[in-house]
Each structure stands twice: as structure tokens, then as C-alpha cells.
Chain A
């Protein structure tokens, strides 16, 4: 590779990383045709490699890419979209949406694109994949592997969602004040879903799934940059930073699962935790608590407990109570039971747990059985604990966690 080629490569990589979502948002804002914007942009990237190697890198790579992609997008009309719009309409929509090229900076419409991806008329489970593709620039194959799905099935779902945006004319727009909270919630939920898909990472080694948590963090940062006054966007970023900061400590050298209480805190990413705390403080100062801020506050309390000792269990319990009041989620109730066990003992916690056990969803919810098993073992109910461990092991898909639970089960059998 010549030096020039090398420079072109690097400039392109930087542009792909920093500008992909901005370019797609600009190209597709007028026609809402994300699929053609993606095709046009990938052609522009291909053209850039040759042109930049030949003539050197342009002063403003974003503007160069936008100009070329816009031309390609207008060309594509002839072959693919002329049954839908008049040629002149198409040209105006493409050019208008991408008119600012001549000016200094590309306008950042990524947030509007995110709101389109998480529109209520788009099926909830495809919103996170759609954002990862259009805002981050991952391809269907990468996303499919993150979501444990076949690439062709994921590809089809993405194509269908993009067609819906175009045909039904879902707007690229930031919702009005009155509808913003509900619509923002859908955006944050999709970002969180992208993160948790990467987080569950069964093997603990899959680079693509690990990548997904980083991309979700990137999306959360974009949301915060563009909506700096929304406390829940900040809350989500703080939560994701807290979780990501402990990634390396979740597995030991053999790839075995390490529960939070036993994690080597030296493996935690201290600067990331500090950032999480700062972001959470910024959110808290706005005086409008919400689900993500509370979840981040819980992470913060747990981290403090490990780092500084002391056990603010009463504080933790209060946070779970507040979170349960907002979400009514049985998952929150399960975690709350663990905190209650620390404060009032396993028997009280089991009583609290039995109150939520009526929820049919819990029969197949692995953490319910794992928590129940742990509490039963601590309460000395060995036979019942063994049964709960067996169910928990049977439901667990992550082999490392399964090994951990099997270890617990066999130690229970040795003791008796």
C-alpha cells in the first residue's frame, strides 16, 4: 500500500466512523428513502478511495462524500424509484435535504433519524437493529450476529422497516414537546435493547457482540449530545457506562462467570465509572427522576458498596421501590428481593418474592430461579433450593453462568 492509499484509507475510516449516520440522515431526510441513501453512500465511499488515493484527501471529507452520494442518489432514481415520484420532485427532495454541503459543517440530523427508526409505527423489536444500521452503519450480518438471528432474516426485517418508513412517509423529525417524552422513551429503549443484546454475550468472547455494547454507547452519546437537557437520556448513558465499565471483571481467566460481589474491582474501568457518576449527577440536578436515572443510581450504589465498603442497603431498597413504582416490572421486584435479603434476611425476601411469583412470565425467567435458589439456600431450605438451581441451570443459555450455577448446586449437595 502506498502512503497515499494508506492516508485515503484512514481518512475514509474516520469519515465512516464519525459521519455515517449524519450523511444517511441528510441524504434520506427529503425522500425518506434510507435504502437508496445507503446504496448511494456506499458507492460514494468506493469512489472516494480511488479519488482520494489519486488526488489526495479533500479538506472536508464529509462534504465530498455528501456531494458525490447526492449525485449517485439522483442517478438511482432512473432505475428504481420513478414509479413513485416525478423526476423533478425526486431531484428537489434529494438536493434540498443535502444542500448545506457548501457551508461549513454538515447539519446533524441523526436524532431525527433515530426518532424515525423508533417511531410507534415501526415494530418495536426492529427499532434497535434499524438504528444500528442507519445511524452507526453496521451491516445486516453484524447486527444479526449480535441479535442471534440469521443474516438473511435480519436483512429482510431491516428492508421491510425501511420500506415502511419510505412508503408510509414516516417523518424525520424531532417530536413536539407534548409528545417528546413518550417518543424519546422509545428511542432510549431501543438503544438499551442494542446494549443488552451485546451485553448478554453468551461466550464472553464474541467480538461482534462486544462491539454492539460499544455501538449502543455511541448511540447513547449521540442522544445526549443532541438532547443535552433530557435527564433520562443522560440517565441511560450513565447506566450503560456503569455496566460497560465492569465488562472485563465479569469473566475470570478461564472465561468463567464472576458474580458482582466477587469481581476484582481493579479490573473495573475507573475513568468510565467516574464519567458515569458525573453524567448521573448532571441528570439528577435537573430534578426529574425516571427509570434510567434510577437504574444508574442503583449501579452507582452497588459500585460504591464494593469500592468503599459499607452497605447502603436501605438506600438501595428505596431506589428499587421507586423503580418498581415506575415500571411495575417483576424483574425489578426480583432484584429488590435480593436487597431485602441483605436488610431483613432471606425468609423475608422469599416472602416478597412469592408475591411476584404469580406472574406467569417468571416461570421461564432464569434470574427469578437463580435468585430464588440463592435465597432458599441461605434460608436452609436445601431440597427446594436444589430444585430451583436445577431449573435456573436448565433455563440458562450462557455456558459460563451455567457452570457457575452448577458449582453452587454441587456445593449445596456436598454440605448436606
Chain B
């Protein structure tokens, strides 16, 4: 077993990396209220953040979403499909983008999430991602039933 140094009991090096989704929740009206200079500063901060994650090899994917004014929500109400304008949750902060990262454990994921500029003006949610893709998972569940 390979172990890392440091204090206390050994820490396992042979870890299966976990993927985490860092979900950025932001107040949309906040962006338009900023001055041009402030917007440039924030964009610079996000760019630096993405570069740092890419440099460290943790970033798998990162995407921003158009504002919720462009969102459409679908659900079934009493058997009928309902298509509505607007986002699902009517909350102060809205999902604005996400970063898919790979980290050895939650502490490492939290360390990356804490560096996200969104933490300074919004909320970042850290969610572990399932280790297998959905299609494989469904196949396995179907297989175990028979």
C-alpha cells in the first residue's frame, strides 16, 4: 500500500477518483446591475478559476446556462402535458452553470468549490456524480432482477 506522508494515520493513495458536479446558483439580476468594469473583473475571475482547474487536471467539463427567461418547464398535470415559460424553481438564486470535476474526496471537491467566484456572490452546491452512466446502471438493475 502506498501512503502519503503527513501527520497521523496514513491516507490512502489508491483512491478511486470521484466526480463532482459543482452547481452555480446566482442572482440573475445581479449581473445586469454591474458596471462594465465590474463585469470584466468577474469574467476575469471565472476565467482564472477555469484555467486553474484545467491546469490541475480536475476539470472535466464546464458550461454556463442562458438566463432563466429563456427556460421552458414541462410537467404532466392530471394526465395532460403542461408546457410553461420560465424555470422550475421560483427562488432568489437560479442555476446559472456547472463544472464537472474529478477529485479524490469531498474535502478536495470542497476546496475547489470554495475557489469558485460564485461563492462570493451566490451559492455553490457540490453533488457527487454516480460512478456508472445511467444506461449501464439501468442494465445492471434489470440484470439483477432476473
Chain A interface residues toward B at CB < 8 A: 29-30, 82-85, 89, 92-93, 96-97, 99, 107-109, 111-112, 119, 121, 167-171, 173-174, 176-177, 226
| A230 shortest CB reach to chain B, Å | 12
How many residue pairs between the two chains, A and B, have CB atoms under 8 Å in the bound complex? 66
Interface flags, B100-118, vs A, CB<8A=1, else 0: 0000111101100000000
20 example contacts (A-B, Cβ-Cβ < 8 A) are as follows A29-B12, A30-B14, A83-B130, A83-B131, A83-B132, A84-B131, A93-B14, A93-B16, A107-B9, A109-B9, A112-B9, A119-B106, A168-B106, A169-B18, A169-B106, A169-B128, A171-B105, A174-B9, A176-B7, A226-B8
Q: Chain B: how many interface residues by the 8 Å CB criterion? A: 26
Which listed residue (B7, B9, B12, B140) contacts A83, Cβ 8 A? B140
Please give, as numbers and ranges, the residues of chain B lying within 8 Å of A92 by CB-CB distance: 14
Question: B105 and A97: CB pair below 8 A?
Answer: no
| A23 shortest CB reach to chain B, Å | 14
Q: CA of A167 to CA of B127 in the docked complex: distance in angstroms?
A: 9
Q: CA of A226 to CA of B6 in the docked complex: distance in angstroms?
A: 15
The SS class assigned to the A binding surface is loop
Which of B10, B107, B140 has most chain A Cβ within 10 Å?
B107
Contacts A174-B9, A176-B6 given; does A83 touch B105 at CB 8 Å: no
Interface flags, B1-30, vs A, CB<8A=1, else 0: 100001111111011101000000000000
| A154 shortest CB reach to chain B, Å | 24
Contacts A83-B137, A173-B107 given; does A97 touch B12 at CB 8 Å: yes
Please give, as numbers and ranges, the residues of chain B lying within 8 Å of A83 by CB-CB distance: 130-132, 137, 140-141
| A32 shortest CB reach to chain B, Å | 8
* Beyond A168-B128, A174-B7, A226-B8, 20 additional pairs, beta carbon < 8 A: A29-B12, A30-B12, A83-B131, A85-B16, A92-B14, A96-B1, A96-B12, A97-B12, A99-B1, A109-B9, A111-B8, A121-B106, A168-B106, A168-B126, A169-B18, A169-B106, A170-B106, A173-B11, A173-B107, A177-B7
